[in-house]
A and B are shown apart, each in its own frame.
Chain A
């Protein structure tokens, strides 16, 4: 730049998540946990429970874990990403195409829509669940 203005680039909006498997992704997207007291109808403490106030995980009617679309963060669950092995195959049309194999890990993309996502994103970064943004992502948001 030729001027002396603040040249801080715009803040990051997309994160790339890589974990071991889907169970790990679900756990990660529940965000940090907190322990809260539980009470009876008279207001007496009856014990404690673990909650995830920043979770974007819900269960459908069959109790399967689903990733919620929220107004503050969106997650595109990719799963396996495939990369060329270096071998070339030929299809029945005679076209050459690269042999692909799954790369390690279970993958997802995350887009931040508002600052409300910061705690969840920090939790993912602290847990080592995000990777350096690839130069040419296998998949992006439209």
Chain B
């Protein structure tokens, strides 16, 4: 490669200059993520270390904390099941079907990304709260939606809807229908084709979407805060526990639970990266 630097009488040899610019850019990038992302992680690890081992043990042994983790788990499992099953159906329709209203469907899928979680919680209040559209019927049936598990699951599903769909649609579009057609020609039924061919093709994309859904529903706070009523030991999730701990100036237990959540999400992140790589490898071959 010829060097335009020579035309302008460079102060430094071009190789040195290039290395300096590259090195500078890399240093700025590393410094930025270091200050913005890594430093806070070190901060919380340090705070928990300061709190000491006995605080960690006593916090994790609290029945409230254990119930909070349990509730977060229940909400996450239900959300993952619902958004995966219906997500694959919606993805199939968006990728494979053509009909008026398909664009509207895509817009509806993206809508939760644009809505603040607080607004999602408000939606549930407007529908199921006092004076809400569905409130009279559910009250007459004696079913409790608001300030109970159903509304907490509903808002989490709303927020997590896009993840599976947005990962599966491009995979479906890229693998095309050749294999499915071959299976059908060879006599497989629709269901057989779906489970043996389609599902196998989208598996990494689907797992990727599920991992994103899990991470998001574990961490959800704004929507759940509004609909849960924050009843300790009943409708308090892990994130709600952390919020209450800080409201009541119980910083140390708050730090411990928050660090636990951070560690869980970093494990999930490693899974996410693995699925992403698998899927990319599959697309390349």
Q: Are A and B part of the same complex? A: no
* Chain A residues within CB distance 8 Å of chain B: none
